Amino acid sequence: MNVLDSTLLSLILPEGLSEYFELDKVETVSDSYYIYLKERNIQPKEFTAQKLISKGFFEEISVRDFPLRGKPCFLKLKRRKWMIVETGEIVFRDWNLVAEGTKMTQEFAFFLRDYLDSSPISCKTLGRFFGVEGKRLQEQYVSHLSDFMSWDQAEHAQDWLLFPDNLGEYLSIDETSLSQGELYTIVTNKAAKGKKGALVAIVKGTESETVIKVLCRIKEWARKKVKEVTLDLAPTMAKIVRRSFPKAKLVSDRFHVQQLASEAVQEIRIKHRWDAIEQENKEMDLAKEIKKPWIPELLENGDTLKQLLARSRYLLFKKEVNWTSSQNHRAELLFKRYPDLQKAYEISQELSSIFSRSKDRRIAFKKLAIWYNKIEKLGYKPFNTIARTIQNNYETILNYFDNRSTNASAESFNAKIKAFRSQFRGVRNVKFFLFRLAKIYA
């Protein structure tokens, strides 16, 4: 083998292997590469003081390595054996080539392990990328490559996980679904920005006393260092934060408040849509009675009234400046027919404007008071519920204007969990899934 062949082989093979093995042949079978290697007759260093003679090779072994050109690659190795002339003992070079419990090179196996330890990707998906059977990779990762079998939180993992070292001054708390709609409460550290060190705690369920019991395992002096926690409007979440982090300021997420207003607008739209459907049904029945074809009324843009109300859903979530030309036209027709819906939309956008434009807590308080008075005068039932919610949570809502903190980091973290969960097509082994989450985010 010439110098060029030797150099190329050293780039392909695991480190140090080309020094002791020579290339015999290369085959391509069923879109896989097979590289046949024979160990050279180079006496092992630990036996340099003794006279050895080569006694041939052990049985050939097959070891999977990194793919080549997107195709699986297998090393077919023939290891040499020697005999000590003086004693007749058979010896061989001590190789640490294969990762324990696998038929992969250590370099390849540890690469896959490190990828799984740090990236939200399933074993099946990763295996597809590297030509490895996903189920077998998971078994090898669980039993040999990772520390899952000796995990110190394995005993209680399905009920709770806790990582006190990740506690920070600014936290978020939220709930998410992991398996078959089962809810878990998650506490995250905002400083980690959704990366390593973000996960502080994950507790099965949303019952406040259960979550508090777990969080109180953290030393009290550490919990008292928490300055601020963002959360949704659920009373249980507020109770958890007040009991677990007694010095922390509670900040109700502005987007949850705005979402209530948007849902109130949609509730009014849906009511009108049901009325339009009922009216359409009556007109169709009447047409049958008088034996005439029913012709629906078409608006300027080609929508029926029922279609107008259905197709207006998304524009009512958006700011007017972001409407397209067709949405502008549809809104014009909609508001002309339903002035109450226009008023509801304007009130919803006014609330959004208070949160986005107010820079001072006192100014925001005055604007919210004026907005609250408008709601009372209008008498729209869906908005009355929002008004009472704001009244009951006004202190934590106003806290937003101090640092403009939101629960966006928690929502983002939940989105990552859902994206990760979707790769599993249903989390059957919750403990393993939580172990992976902990590896990546704790």
At 7-65, the pLDDT tens digits run 777 777 887 788 888 888 889 988 889 999 998 998 888 888 889 999 999 999 999 99
For residue 343, pLDDT over 70 is answered with yes
**Mean pLDDT along residues 367-383:** 83
**Mean pLDDT along residues 390-409:** 90
Neighbours of 4 (CB within 10 A): 8
For residue 4, pLDDT over 70 is answered with no
**Mean pLDDT along residues 217-222:** 96
For residue 2, pLDDT over 60 is answered with no
Neighbours of 309 (CB within 10 A): 23
Q: What is the dihedral of CA 337, 343, 349, 350, to 10 degrees?
A: 160
Reported as a pLDDT band with limits 50, 70 and 90, residue 308 is very high
Q: Which of 133-137, 211-215, 415-419, 423-427 has the highest mean pLDDT?
A: 211-215
Cα–Cα distance for residue pair 130/69, rounded to 1 Å: 11
For residue 377, pLDDT over 90 is answered with no
Buried/exposed code over 14-34 (b: 16+ C-beta within 10 A; e: otherwise): beebbebbebeeeeeeeeebb
**289: DSSP letter:** H
Q: What is the mean pLDDT of the chain?
A: 89
**118, containing H or E segment:** helix 106-118
What stretches of 358-429 show up as alpha helix (H) in DSSP? 361-378, 381-392, 394-398, 400-403, 408-424
| pLDDT for the residue 6 | 66
36 pairs with which residues across the strands? 25, 76
Pairing relationship of beta strands 32-39 and 71-78 according to DSSP bridges = parallel
Classify 250 as helix, strand or coil.
strand
Buried/exposed code over 118-155 (b: 16+ C-beta within 10 A; e: otherwise): eebbbbbebbeebbbeeeebbebbbeebbebeeeeeee
Backbone angles phi, psi at 389, to 5 degrees: -60, -45
Token pair of 312 as six digits: 């207006």
Total residues found in the chain within this entry: 442
For residue 286, pLDDT over 90 is answered with no
Can you give the pTM of this predicted structure?
Answer: 0.83
Cα–Cα distance for residue pair 190/306, rounded to 1 Å: 45
Residue 181 · residue 192 · CB < 8 Å: no
Token pair of 302 as six digits: 């080609």
**Mean pLDDT along residues 71-98:** 89
In this structure, which CATH number among 3.40.50.150, 1.10.3720.10, 3.30.420.10, 3.40.50.10490 belongs to the domain 154-253+406-441?
3.30.420.10
**286, containing H or E segment:** helix 254-289
CA distances to 37, 43, 73, 121, 431 from 69, in Å: 20, 35, 9, 22, 36
| pLDDT for the residue 3 | 52
Share of the chain above pLDDT 70, in %: 98
Question: In angstroms, how far is CA 111 from the centroid of its own chain?
Answer: 22
Nearest CA-CA partner of 253 in 36, 408, 78 = 408
| pLDDT for the residue 426 | 61
Reported as a pLDDT band with limits 50, 70 and 90, residue 296 is confident
Residues 142-196 pLDDT 10s:
999 999 999 999 999 999 999 999 999 999 999 988 777 789 999 999 999 989 9
| pLDDT for the residue 222 | 96
Residue 111 · residue 141 · CB < 8 Å: no
Nearest CA-CA partner of 204 in 177, 242, 166 = 177
